[in-house]
Amino acid sequence: MARVQILRWQDIPSVVKAFDDDGSAVSAQLPDWFQQEIDRRAMEQGLIGSDAYLEQWQWGELEERPGSAAEVLDAVVAELTAE
């Protein structure tokens, strides 16, 4: 069993991190188009370069999934990029 957590800016995912039972972790940044969408929305909302921009970054709740951290990481990244 592994635990997974997603870093989001508002509702847009950016980074996925997964942990094994022994505490070891693996992480992956999502493809560039996720960051491009974050930047586009931040510019639209006038948040670029502000504290309000930084406040929008939040780690989601840890979620348990079967498999190793690496397997769970790959699965979650695949799910998010397929949306």
pLDDT digits over 27-41, tens only? 999 999 999 999 999
Q: How confident is the model at residue 12 (pLDDT cuts 50, 70, 90)?
A: very high
Q: What is the DSSP letter of 60?
A: -
- 63-65 and 12-19: which strand pairing? unpaired
Beta strand 25-29 pairing with 12-19: antiparallel
| pLDDT at site 22 | 94
Distance CA 1, CA 19 (A): 9
Q: For position 49, what pLDDT does the model report?
A: 86
Confidence (pTM): 0.92
Task: Give the pLDDT score at 79.
Answer: 97
pLDDT bracket for residue 17 (50, 70, 90) = very high
Quick one: which H or E segment has residue 33?
A: helix 32-44
Domain range summary for the chain, segments of one domain joined by +:
2-82
